[in-house]
Amino acid sequence: MKVIDKIVHWARLKSPWILHFNTGACNACDIEIIAALTPRFDVERFGVQLKATPRHADILVCSGPVTRQIRDRLIRIYEQMPEPKFVVAVGTCATSGGVFQGLYNVLGGIDQAIPVNAYIPGCPASPMAIIDGVVKLLKSLEESE
Amino acid sequence: MTDAETIKQKLEAKFNYLKGSVRLQREKRLWLETAYDKFAELFDFAVKELGFSFLCTITGLDEGENLGYIYHLAQPGGIVLNIKTRTKKNEPIKSITAYFPSGNIYERELVDLLGAKVEGLIEGLRYPLPDDWPRDQYPLRKDWDAKVLEKGSYGEMHGENVQMPIGPKQIKGPTSFSIAHKNDVTLPIGPQHPALKEPESFSVALRGEKIAGVELRLGYNHRGIEKGCEQRSYIQDIYLIERICGICSHSHSTAYVSAVEEIAGLEIPKRASYIRTIIAELERIHSHLLWLGVAGHEIGFDTLLMYSWRDREAIMDILAMLTGNRVNYGINQIGGVRRDITPDQVPQIIKVIETLEEQTKYYIQLALEEVTLIQRLSGVGVLSKEDVLRLGAVGPTARASSVPRDTRKDDPYAAYAEMPFKVITDDHNDVYGRTIVRLGELMESYSMTKHALINMPDGPISVKAPRKIPAGEAVSRYEAPRGEDVHYIKSNGTENPERVKVRAPTLANTQAVSKMLEDRYLADLPIVVAAIDPCFSCTDRSISIINLENEHEKVMTWKDLRDYSVEWYKKQGVDFSKMKRRQFP
Amino acid sequence: MIILTPPIVFIILLAFSWLLAMASSIVAFKRKGPIGALDKPYAGGEDVKKHRVQPDYSQFFPFAFFFTILHVVTLVLATFPVGSLGAFVVAVVYIVGAMLGLYILFRR
Amino acid sequence: MGYALFNIFIFPGFLFLGVISLVAEYFDRKLYARLQNRVGPPWFQPLADFIKLLGKEDVVPEEADKKMFNLSPVFALTAVMTAFFYIPLWGAQAIFSFNGDLIVVLYLLTIPTLTFFLGGWYSRSLFSTIGAVRSITQLFAYEIPLFVSILAPAMLANTWSLSEMAAYYNSHPWFWLANLIGFGVALISLLGKLERVPFDIPEAETEIVAGSFTEYSGRLLAYFRMAIDMEAIVGASLLAAVFLPFGLGLSPVLGFILYLIKIFAIIALLALFRTVFARLRIDQMVEFCWKYIAPIAFFQVLLDLVLKAFVIR
């Protein structure tokens, strides 16, 4: 069984499918996330694919400070993802509410709603930073298991 | 005698109580104040006789015991008439949707954020506050404080120990009440959807593949920036205003800064306005290339996304070189610009722009010849010229229906008065026309940037700005890549602005989405929504568009659904025994 | 080699793939914590109640009828003894009939 | 008996088909990425995706019909694998052939589309129901042109068996050039069957999220994806056997290499279509298929009939 677990673990690291969700961001980070898929950065080299439904995704890439209206939708999407799942918070807003800290309709940061595995600072986090964040997340999974 | 003065004369001639109180603050800005009972007649005169055919926005102000309203009306020539009026806090005002149907969004915002009472406002989805926000809390009131939301304090105000309802409970989403017909499918294109780059929620009533009705709920991106601006100083506000939207951040910061400079009476140096224009056009280039890619992605043509975003990276490098950051450039400051363009950077920019010019010619040729592209774009999302004028669409959406509404030409700001460019219009009235207009504007932006770079005057790049801005108010308009962006700022002499009002271009265009989606296929919804190049984080506005006769929602089990549909089809005469040929659409 | 005839091969492979599917469930991840909204149908984040839907595709009914008629006629044609002159005549009649049907379908 | 089991499970059966479909998926994604001048995935990507999906949690929506939800992928897989035995790969003789195996193969290739419909319909979510009904609507459009364009060479060869057809064209060289029009029609219909871009309307990502696969995840999704990849290989080899029957007399090794070249050429063509075209709407697709593709297929049959009756005495 040990060998099978090792193979499945290798496969999990080699094909991380991402789901992008904008929880009230100014969509600068979202454009940078999608820019990471385009020819100059092309995350498909690491097997990363942008998927459409939480059912197909392993990594939930969120950007933006969680606004009150979107908080429950975010929790629902997070719960609809099958189990070995991770959350990456892209941008300073997703990490700590950023420049929108203290505004009345903002909860400030993704970790106010769901547990987060990796934080990528930057306003907006450039595609290089996003790729570096995802690769660091995968490396940390490699050591943990 | 500019035509602004003639309008001033006409107003004072018609209404003698206005004698001397009509203020011409700037070359194209008319300000006047009136009591609410005389307001209706004045408004009707301005719209009908004086030809103010476009409602920019309505600003709400909290003035102690009564609520102030400013109606910003614009003329195609660029003159803006700002009518101020005020009523007691609980006195209702009459809705102006009779003159401008698009006014209901601005009024709905007044109701939600300021607690205004508007008669005649059509029932619709709540905007911009979340569904579970208590109805009696008005955030933009001066006496309202965010501390109310802390845990518990909401309870004391209301006696019972109830916690501010932010817990994950069943929120009544837009799709729970039925907008559908008997056997329609209500499809939620929810906050998370591959076609939407930002969270907004459409609930689409479908009859087979045809769209029967669309209800658009936004407000997911509403962060309360306007309230935030009132608690920060002018300089801190630049960085907050710039992050309203990631793609048109320079638009918002330039509009905000030029309004503050108009109040403070600062005259920024020529070189600074040239640099602002160059950065504005570079942002328009990268925004249009981005849109081209997203449009390609929405119709399943991913190669266009990859090619156009690959070329866009060249522009992002230039912007990073000029301003230090790929997005949110932060180059504006009150009184001028923060960084200068050195002479050795100029040839690099021109070289990149020339290569992009070749590539855009290839895209124009592609848009004119690619069969499947034309098939998916032409005849989709039709918006006639009358609809544009009635619904107040702006930017490429308006120019694609041959309405030459371009703020750079009508009401030039920064250095656009000296820029040689022509307004691109098209008469296709559909998504195909908008593609042509945007590609044409790309070519214009290339030539404008080169022109500005070559004959940019020397001199200082900024002027010393006072920390405290004297009391006053100003309206500034800016032609963002998506359309006209309006900023209203009111200052009271302290370090913090009294009121900051932002009306983003997508707000005016969302009105037209429902008109375009009438009787279209579901497959057209993503491309029609993408065609107005929505930037909902600017907007976070919401309206209900087509409301079918609202039947009460009845939960049907599978069995009675089947019996129901069999019986419904019998009424339609489809019971196979005597097959009646349906008209093929 | 009757084992290679279609029905038997189908049954063998059906059993094999069903076994494969069951076997691979031992590799699947076993969740420990609560399910939450995991098995609620996906609706873009909204909590939609009406899932039992019956989309009305009557717009494509004419194509569906045309498809079934043509399909049956093709099968009849396929079972004709190959090579005889009769087959040739029937084939030509079939094609002319199909072309006529297409013309009517699109003229209206 | 043993040799037959070897055939079923190892050579042209599960193992060979599985490996070659993974290689084909890699080839397709890499070519697609290179055409968009992206770098594209590494060579082991399809295998990694498949194993990762196996390792995911098993999710069955509460409102879905458990039985149908779990069985659809299994049926799709079985139908595609069974069809592979009756197609002559490189020699003029398939593993097993009988008169009428052409009709059996065509109908076995229709079963996956039906399982997509059942899977989507019984997972009872809004997006999957619409995706399911769309895949059936699309079936109406491409099925008849595919059948007719494949029956045309069969009529010319006077048989309904793929192996005899291959033998006929082997003995009459250059005859297959008459069927090139049919090849074009069959290629376009194969696009529809495999739901590739100009016709990937049932799982249009930006409209109905993932069509009938919206509620699928984990190993069931893995089997559906494997079934689609295998269907691409089986469809390509069917087209190669029917429309490109040249060089069948070569030695088994050379013949096998020629066969691989043929199917990878067809898969490269499919990847090229995926890069060049935008996705059509369902009504445009149905109209396009009935207005242009079906008449051309009928013309091909007419051409073959004329050839058989008058030219080849």
Arithmetic mean of pLDDT, B72-98: 87
Residues of chain C with Cβ-Cβ distance to B574 below 8 Å are 58
pLDDT of amino acid D264 = 94
- Quote the tokens at residue D25: 């998926």
pLDDT of amino acid B182 = 52
pLDDT of amino acid B568 = 57
Domain boundaries, chain B: 1-145, 225-543
pLDDT of amino acid C81 = 62
pLDDT of amino acid D60 = 87
B29 strand-pairing partners: B26, B80
- Quote the tokens at residue B481: 């890549």
Instruction: Determine which of C42, C49, C50, C102 to mutate to test the interface with B (most B C-beta atoms within 10 Å).
Output: C50
Taking 90 as the threshold, does the pLDDT of residue C2 lie above it?
no
Place of tokens 């990847």: D271
- Whether C29 and chain D come into contact, CB under 8 Å, resolves to yes
Taking an 8 Å cut-off on Cβ atoms, the answer to whether D62 and C40 are in contact is yes
Distance from CA of A64 to the nearest CA of D (A): 22
Query: Which pLDDT band holds residue B570 (cuts at 50, 70, 90)?
Result: low
**Judged by CB atoms within 8 Å, which residues 79-138 of D form the interface with B?**
126-127, 129-130
pLDDT tens digit sequence for D27-41: 999 999 999 989 989
Distance from CA of C73 to the nearest CA of B (A): 21
pLDDT tens digit sequence for D295-309: 899 899 888 888 887
pLDDT of amino acid B160 = 40
- Whether C65 and chain D come into contact, CB under 8 Å, resolves to no
Place of tokens 């790929």: B326
pLDDT of amino acid B175 = 34
Please give the mean pLDDT across all residues of chain D. 88
Count of CB atoms within 10 A of residue B62's CB?
21
| D55 vs A12, A51, A56: nearest CB | A12
Query: Which pLDDT band holds residue B150 (cuts at 50, 70, 90)?
Result: low
Taking an 8 Å cut-off on Cβ atoms, the answer to whether A54 and C40 are in contact is no
Instruction: Give the number of residues written for chain D.
Output: 313
Residues of chain B with Cβ-Cβ distance to A73 below 8 Å are 190-192, 199, 220
* Helical H segments across D111-211, by residue range: 111-122, 126-156, 162-171, 180-194, 205-208
pLDDT of amino acid B195 = 72
Domain span holding position D235 = 2-311
Q: Is the distance from CB of D193 to CB of D231 less than 8 angstroms?
A: yes
The lowest-confidence range among B74-83, B310-319, D30-39 is B74-83
Instruction: Determine which of A69, A90, A106, A114 to mutate to test the interface with B (most B C-beta atoms within 10 Å).
Output: A69
Sign of CA dihedral C104, C105, C107, C108: positive
Q: Which helix (H) or strand (E) is B80 found in, with range?
A: strand B80-88
Taking 80 as the threshold, does the pLDDT of residue D160 lie above it?
yes
Find, among D274, D283, D290, D287, the residue nearest to D191 by Cα.
Answer: D274
Taking an 8 Å cut-off on Cβ atoms, the answer to whether D54 and C24 are in contact is yes
B211 strand-pairing partners: B206
Taking 90 as the threshold, does the pLDDT of residue B209 lie above it?
no
Distance from CA of C33 to the nearest CA of A (A): 10
Q: How many CB pairs under 8 A join B and D?
A: 75
* Helical H segments across chain D, by residue range: 2-9, 14-35, 45-54, 66-83, 101-108, 111-122, 126-156, 162-171, 180-194, 205-208, 219-243, 252-276, 282-288, 294-306
Which residue would you say has higher pLDDT here, D91 or D147? D147
Residues 6+ apart with CB under 8 A from A135: A46
Sign of CA dihedral B423, B426, B427, B428: negative
Taking 50 as the threshold, does the pLDDT of residue B166 lie above it?
no
* Helical H segments across A2-144, by residue range: 2-14, 28-35, 68-79, 92-96, 127-144
- Quote the tokens at residue D272: 């090229």
Taking an 8 Å cut-off on Cβ atoms, the answer to whether A45 and D217 are in contact is no
Taking 60 as the threshold, does the pLDDT of residue D152 lie above it?
yes
- Quote the tokens at residue B305: 């996304």
Regarding an ipTM greater than 0.90, the answer is no
The lowest-confidence range among A14-18, B143-147, B370-374 is B143-147
| B303 vs D200, D205, D275: nearest CB | D275
Task: State how many domains chain D has.
Answer: 1
- Whether C88 and chain D come into contact, CB under 8 Å, resolves to yes
Taking 90 as the threshold, does the pLDDT of residue B555 lie above it?
no
pLDDT of amino acid B542 = 26
C-alpha span between B406 and B77 (Å, rounded)? 10
Cα-atom radius of gyration of chain C, to the nearest Å? 25
- Which amino acid would we find at residue C8? I
- Whether D278 and chain B come into contact, CB under 8 Å, resolves to yes
The residue in chain A having the minimum alpha-carbon distance to the alpha carbon of residue B174 is A69
Taking an 8 Å cut-off on Cβ atoms, the answer to whether B210 and C46 are in contact is no
Arithmetic mean of pLDDT, B217-246: 84
Calculate what percentage of chain B has a pLDDT beyond 70: 84
Which residue would you say has higher pLDDT here, A99 or D267? D267
Taking 60 as the threshold, does the pLDDT of residue D109 lie above it?
yes
Residues of chain D with Cβ-Cβ distance to B201 below 8 Å are none
Query: Which pLDDT band holds residue B184 (cuts at 50, 70, 90)?
Result: low
Taking 60 as the threshold, does the pLDDT of residue B483 lie above it?
yes
Taking 70 as the threshold, does the pLDDT of residue B239 lie above it?
yes
Chains that touch B (3 or more CB pairs under 8 A): A, C, D
pLDDT tens digit sequence for B279-314: 999 999 999 999 999 888 888 888 899 999 999 999
B33 strand-pairing partners: B84
- Quote the tokens at residue B578: 């005597």
Residues 6+ apart with CB under 8 A from B468: B493, B494, B495
Cis ω on the peptide bond leading into residue B128 (within 30° of 0)?
yes
- Quote the tokens at residue C58: 């009557």
- Whether C38 and chain A come into contact, CB under 8 Å, resolves to yes
- Assign residue D218 a region: left if phi > 0, alpha if psi is -120 to 50, beta otherwise? left
Taking an 8 Å cut-off on Cβ atoms, the answer to whether C14 and D98 are in contact is no
The lowest-confidence range among B153-162, B206-215, B345-354, D162-171 is B153-162
Query: Which pLDDT band holds residue B152 (cuts at 50, 70, 90)?
Result: very low
pTM: 0.86
pLDDT of amino acid C51 = 61
Residues 6+ apart with CB under 8 A from B371: none
Count of CB atoms within 10 A of residue D1's CB?
7
Q: How many CB pairs under 8 A join A and B?
A: 142
C-alpha span between A29 and A32 (Å, rounded)? 5
Taking 60 as the threshold, does the pLDDT of residue D106 lie above it?
yes
Arithmetic mean of pLDDT, C88-93: 78
**Judged by CB atoms within 8 Å, which residues 74-133 of D form the interface with C?**
74-75, 77-79, 81-82, 85-86, 95-96, 98, 101, 103-104, 108, 123-127, 129-130, 133
| B290 vs A31, A99, A107: nearest CB | A31
Residues of chain D with Cβ-Cβ distance to B585 below 8 Å are 283
- Quote the tokens at residue B507: 């707000």
Distance from CA of C24 to the nearest CA of B (A): 30
Q: Which helix (H) or strand (E) is B486 found in, with range?
A: strand B483-491
Find, among A38, A32, A52, A40, the residue nearest to A120 by Cα.
Answer: A32
- Quote the tokens at residue B97: 């949707």
Distance from CA of D215 to the nearest CA of B (A): 14
Chains that touch A (3 or more CB pairs under 8 A): B, C, D
pLDDT of amino acid B572 = 54
Find, among B160, B190, B164, the residue nearest to B175 by Cα.
Answer: B190
What CATH class is the domain B225-543? mainly alpha
pLDDT of amino acid A145 = 63
pLDDT tens digit sequence for D33-74: 999 989 989 999 999 999 999 999 888 888 888 888 999 999
pLDDT of amino acid D37 = 87
Q: What is the CATH number of domain A2-144?
A: 3.40.50.12280
Burial of C81 (0-12, 13-18, 19+ CB in 10 A): exposed
* Helical H segments across chain C, by residue range: 6-23, 61-78, 85-107
Residues of A with CB under 8 A from a CB of B: 19, 21-32, 34-35, 38-40, 50, 52, 54, 64-65, 67-73, 75, 77, 98-100, 102-107, 123-124, 126
Mapped onto helix, strand or coil, the DSSP state of residue D96 is coil
pLDDT tens digit sequence for B439-451: 999 999 999 999 9
The lowest-confidence range among B518-532, C42-56, C67-81, D99-113 is C42-56
Taking 50 as the threshold, does the pLDDT of residue B180 lie above it?
no
Which residue would you say has higher pLDDT here, B454 or C108? B454
- Produce one character per residue of B465-479: b if its CB has 16 or more CB atoms within 10 Å, e if not: beeebeebbbbbbbb
The lowest-confidence range among B215-229, B372-386, B549-563 is B549-563
Arithmetic mean of pLDDT, D73-92: 88
Q: Which helix (H) or strand (E) is A77 found in, with range?
A: helix A68-79
Residues of chain C with Cβ-Cβ distance to D55 below 8 Å are 27-29
pLDDT of amino acid B164 = 37
Q: Is the distance from CB of D112 to CB of D81 less than 8 angstroms?
A: no
The lowest-confidence range among B256-270, C22-36, D255-269 is C22-36
Taking an 8 Å cut-off on Cβ atoms, the answer to whether C42 and A80 are in contact is yes
Taking 90 as the threshold, does the pLDDT of residue B355 lie above it?
yes
Find, among D147, D154, D146, the residue nearest to D186 by Cα.
Answer: D146
Which residue would you say has higher pLDDT here, D12 or B348? B348
Calculate what percentage of chain B has a pLDDT beyond 90: 23
Taking an 8 Å cut-off on Cβ atoms, the answer to whether D275 and B297 are in contact is no
Taking 50 as the threshold, does the pLDDT of residue B454 lie above it?
yes
Cα-atom radius of gyration of chain A, to the nearest Å? 15
Taking 70 as the threshold, does the pLDDT of residue D244 lie above it?
yes
Arithmetic mean of pLDDT, A57-66: 90
Arithmetic mean of pLDDT, D156-179: 85
The lowest-confidence range among A6-10, B448-452, C11-15, C26-30 is C26-30
Q: Is the distance from CB of D302 to CB of C92 less than 8 angstroms?
A: yes
pLDDT of amino acid D7 = 80
Residues of chain C with Cβ-Cβ distance to A73 below 8 Å are 45-46
- Quote the tokens at residue C88: 């040739």
pLDDT tens digit sequence for B390-422: 888 888 989 999 888 888 888 888 889 888 889
Place of tokens 């035509």: B3
| D52 vs A12, A52, A55: nearest CB | A12
Sign of CA dihedral A92, A95, A99, A100: positive
Taking an 8 Å cut-off on Cβ atoms, the answer to whether B190 and C61 are in contact is no
Taking an 8 Å cut-off on Cβ atoms, the answer to whether B170 and C47 are in contact is yes
| C54 vs B186, B193, B561: nearest CB | B561
Strand A17-22, strand B210-217: pairing: unpaired
pLDDT of amino acid A42 = 87
C-alpha span between B358 and B311 (Å, rounded)? 11
Arithmetic mean of pLDDT, B115-133: 77
Sign of CA dihedral B201, B202, B208, B213: positive
Q: Is the distance from CB of B198 to CB of A27 less than 8 angstroms?
A: yes
**Both ends of chain C: CA-CA distance in Å?**
54
C-alpha span between B54 and A134 (Å, rounded)? 48
Distance of CA B26 to the CA centre of its chain: 24
